[in-house]
A and B are shown apart, each in its own frame.
Chain A
Amino acid sequence: MAETTFTQPPETAARPDGLRGVAADWASDQRAFKNVSWGKAMMWIFLLSDTFIFGCFLLSYMTARMSTVVPWPNPSEVFGLHIGGVSVPLLLIAIMTFVLISSSGTMAMAVNFGYRRERRKTALLMLATAALGATFVGMQAFEWTKLISEGVRPWGNPWGAEQFGASFFMITGFHGTHVTIGVIFLLIVARKVLRGDYDVARRGFFTSRKGNYESVEIMGLYWHFVDLVWVFIFAFFYLW
């Protein structure tokens, strides 16, 4: 025990007590992520926690699908579209996938132009990302409407295992919510970029912190994560 006390840094000043002490202790300058700002580290840690949330949803879906004695509805047919009398499997889902990937591409380029301080290009690319995201949510709303009109409910559906509806609405609903929040987040940051907030380090409305172009990259992390989750949903829910 004596040895461990030697490894402690020397006491430089009296430590404050009470709530002030709590704040001071947590705010001391110990950091694990040397060249990453707190904002970026915290976004990554938030995304990690979100990974577990979506992981649990997909796991519960897997458990339901593996343990049911009733056949699981065939997603290829359920999510198919009839175009000109021909049935194309998963057509809408495929288009949604390409829309979301495109939005990730425009977002990645927005981050790049942000660091080059080309704010018009940055803002336009972010607005394009938001438009693609909104398109995605719109197509998801169409898909939900179609399935609900065909009789899919969280407690049953015309084609097979009852858990299908619950899994579908839970997983895609939560993902769609994330996309919607992302679109709002994108519009807010795009406005700040366009106004030049990050060039003059103007203070933000909520935290009164000075912004910089790293905010665009942090926003981008969230957006790419939404795309990443869709990769897994597409593979496990729609294709499996």
Chain B
Amino acid sequence: MAEASVRNHLHEAVAHAQVKEAGAHEGQQHPIKLYLVVWGWLFVLSACSYLVDYVGLQGYLRWSLILLFMVLKAGLIVAVFMHMAWERLALAYAIIVPPVLVLVFVALMVIEADHTLLTRTLFFGAAP
């Protein structure tokens, strides 16, 4: 529901931008209302992620909620505030695809960290 309303606003704004482009083209012109709506959603999402800690959720529920709110916030900032939703796909791919490769690095370092922990536990007799 939340996403749908944001998406509606995006569509409105895109339509608006296209009308603008037909006339005098000048930069990224979108209705102020769109920014205010996104601003409001960022507040709500931040409050949600703070509540995850405040309520004291633990384990996989906590981690998945943190990641969910983080990705939604990052997406809103990049798509609307940084206008990536209205840029050509060539630019969007050039900027957004390379950071995804960081996930490969994350996977490597998870394996490495597990190995380090294992050797520390085995050879230094420390309990994790």
Give A residues with C-beta under 8 Å from B: 32-36, 41, 44-45, 47-48, 51-52, 55, 59, 62-63, 66-69, 76, 89-90, 94, 97-98, 101-102, 104-105, 107-109, 111-112, 114-116, 213-214, 217, 220-221, 224-225, 227-228, 231-232, 234-235, 238-240
Contact = CB atoms under 8 A, between A and B. Distances in A.
Contacts of B102: 51-52, 55, 59
The dominant DSSP class at the A interface is helix
6 contacts: A62-B106, A62-B113, A66-B117, A68-B117, A90-B50, A105-B42
A33 B39 contact: no
A35 to B, nearest CB: 6
Contact of A235 (B42, B49, B88, B117): B49
A211 B56 CA distance: 50
Interface of B: 26-30, 32, 35-36, 38-39, 42-43, 46, 49-50, 52-54, 63, 66-67, 69-70, 73-74, 77-78, 80-83, 87-88, 90-91, 94-95, 98-99, 102, 105-106, 109-110, 112-114, 116-117, 120-121, 124, 126-128
- 8 smallest CB-CB distances across A and B, nearest first, come from A66-B113, A105-B39, A67-B116, A235-B70, A69-B126, A67-B113, A115-B27, A108-B35
B45 to A, nearest CB: 9
B119 to A, nearest CB: 9
Contacts of B28: 111-112, 115, 217
A36 B28 CA distance: 11
B117 A104 contact: no
Given A51-B98, A232-B70, 16 more contacts: A32-B90, A45-B95, A67-B114, A67-B117, A69-B121, A76-B53, A89-B53, A89-B54, A98-B46, A105-B42, A213-B27, A224-B81, A231-B74, A234-B70, A235-B49, A240-B66
Given A51-B99, A63-B112, A235-B70, A101 B91 contact: no
B58 to A, nearest CB: 11
Contacts of B67: 235
Contact of B99 (A48, A115, A220, A238): A48
Contacts of B42: 101, 104-105
A231 B66 contact: no
Nearest to A115: B27
B109 A44 contact: no
Contacts of B98: 48, 51-52
Given A51-B99, A55-B99, A104-B77, A35 B88 contact: yes
B117 A112 contact: no
Contacts of B126: 69
A86 to B, nearest CB: 13
A239 B53 CA distance: 6
A105 B73 CA distance: 13
Contacts of A224: 77-78, 81-82
Contacts of A41: 91
B82 A69 contact: no
Contacts of B70: 231-232, 234-235
A66 B105 CA distance: 15
A47 B106 contact: no
Contacts of A116: 29
Nearest to A41: B91
Contacts of A69: 117, 120-121, 124, 126-128
